A and B are shown apart, each in its own frame.
Chain A
Amino acid sequence: MDLQALAVILDSALRLSVPLLCACLAGLWSEKSGVVDIGLEGKMLIAAFAAAAGAHASGSALIGLAAGIGASVAFSLVHGFAAISQRGNQIVSGVAINMLAAGLSAIVGNAWYGQGGRTPSLEGDARFGDIALPGADAFAAVPVVGPLFREVVSGHALPAYLAFLAVPLTWFVLARTRFGLRLRAVGEKPAAVDTAGISVPLLRYAAVIICGVLCGIGGAYLAVAQAAAFLPNMTAGKGFIALAALIFAKWRAWPALGACLLFGLLDAGAIRLQGVSLPLIGPVPVQAIQALPYVLTVILLAGFIGRAVPPAASGVPYVKER
Chain B
Amino acid sequence: MTPAIELVGIDKSFGAVHANRGVDLAVLPGSIHGIVGENGAGKSTLMSILYGFYEADAGEIRIGGKPVAIRSPADAIAHGIGMVHQHFMLVETLTVLENVILGAEGGTLLKAGAAKARAELTRLSDAYGLAIDPDALVSDLSVGLQQRVEILKALYRGADILILDEPTAVLTPPEADALFALLAQLKAQGRTVIFITHKLREIMAVTDRVSVMRRGEMVATLPTAETSPPALAELMVGRRVLLRVEKSPREPGEPVLEAIGIAVTDAKGVERLMDISLTVRAGEIVGIAGVAGNGQSELLEVLAGVIQPSHGAIRIAGELIPPHRRNPARLRELGLLHVPEDRLRMGLVPSFPAFESAALGFTGDPAFARPAPFGALFDRAAMVDHTRRLMDGFDVRPPDPWLRSSKFSGGNQQKLVLAREIERGPKVLLVGQPTRGVDIGAIEFIHRRLIALRDAGVGILLVSVELDEIMGLSDRILAMCGGRITGERRAEGTDAQDLGLLMGGVSEVAA
Interface residues of A (CB under 8 A from B): 176-182, 184-185, 188-189, 191-199, 312, 320-322
Contacts and interface: CB of A to CB of B under 8 A. Distances in A.
Given A188-B94, A195-B53, A320-B54, A181 B110 contact: yes
Contact of B91 (A188, A197, A320, A322): A188
A137 B10 CA distance: 75
Chain A facing B: main interface SS:
helix
A140 to B, nearest CB: 39
A192 B109 contact: no
B110 A198 contact: no
A320 B53 CA distance: 8
Given A191-B89, A197-B72, A197-B77, A185 B110 contact: no
A176 B93 contact: no
B341 interface: no
17 contacts: A177-B110, A178-B108, A178-B110, A181-B98, A182-B103, A184-B94, A188-B92, A191-B89, A192-B91, A196-B77, A197-B73, A197-B75, A197-B76, A198-B102, A312-B93, A320-B54, A321-B87
A178 B14 CA distance: 35
Contact of B83 (A180, A188, A195, A321): A195
Interface string B324-354: 0000000000000000000000000000000
A181 B51 CA distance: 23
A194 B53 CA distance: 8
Given A184-B94, A192-B102, A196-B89, 11 more contacts: A178-B105, A181-B101, A185-B91, A185-B94, A196-B77, A197-B72, A197-B73, A197-B77, A197-B78, A198-B102, A322-B14
B148 to A, nearest CB: 16
A14 B389 CA distance: 71
B111 interface: yes
B58 interface: no
Q: Which 6 pairs between the two chains have the least Cβ-Cβ distance? A: A197-B74, A196-B103, A192-B89, A178-B105, A197-B73, A195-B89
Nearest to A320: B53
A197 B110 contact: no
A153 B108 CA distance: 33
Given A195-B53, A197-B72, A198-B74, A177 B109 contact: yes
B109 A178 contact: yes
B373 interface: no
Interface in B1-53: 14, 45, 51-53
Contacts of B110: 176-178, 180-181
Interface in B96-149: 98-99, 101-105, 107-111, 113
Contact of A189 (B45, B89, B107): B89
B93 A188 contact: yes
B14 A195 contact: no
Contacts of B113: 178
A169 to B, nearest CB: 14
A198 B72 CA distance: 9
Contacts of B109: 176-178
B85 interface: yes
B83 to A, nearest CB: 7
Contacts of A197: 52, 72-78, 103
A184 B45 CA distance: 28
A242 B78 CA distance: 42
Interface of B: 14, 45, 51-54, 72-78, 83, 85, 87, 89-94, 98-99, 101-105, 107-111, 113, 153
A213 B107 CA distance: 25
Contacts of A191: 87, 89
A181 B53 contact: no
Contacts of A188: 91-94
Contacts of A322: 14, 45
Given A176-B109, A177-B108, A193 B103 contact: yes
Contacts of A177: 108-110
Contacts of A194: 53, 73
A176 B111 CA distance: 7
A196 B159 CA distance: 13
A237 to B, nearest CB: 31
A181 B105 contact: yes
Given A177-B110, A194-B73, A195-B73, A189 B51 contact: no
B99 A192 contact: yes
Contacts of B72: 197, 199
A195 B54 CA distance: 11
A196 B98 CA distance: 12
Contact of B102 (A182, A312, A320, A321): A182
Contacts of B101: 181
Nearest to B99: A192
Nearest to B107: A178
A192 B90 contact: yes
A176 B98 CA distance: 11
Contacts of B54: 320
A321 B74 CA distance: 18
A193 B75 CA distance: 14
A178 B117 CA distance: 13
Contacts of B52: 197
Nearest to B102: A196
Contacts of A189: 89-92
A178 B107 CA distance: 7
A193 B89 CA distance: 8
A312 to B, nearest CB: 7
Contacts of A181: 94, 98, 101-102, 105, 110
Interface centre among A177, A180, A189 (most CB of B within 10 A): A189
Nearest to A198: B103
B139 to A, nearest CB: 10
A182 B101 CA distance: 10
Contacts of B51: 195
A312 B94 CA distance: 12
Nearest to B52: A197
B15 to A, nearest CB: 10
A199 B90 CA distance: 16
Nearest to B94: A185
A168 to B, nearest CB: 15
Nearest to A180: B110
Nearest to A179: B108
Nearest to B77: A197
Contacts of A320: 53-54
B342 to A, nearest CB: 15
A177 B106 CA distance: 11
Contacts of A179: 108
A72 B52 CA distance: 36
B166 to A, nearest CB: 14
Given A176-B109, A181-B102, A322-B14, A195 B85 contact: yes
Q: Which of A182, A188, A198, A322 has the most chain B CB atoms inside 10 A of its CB?
A: A322
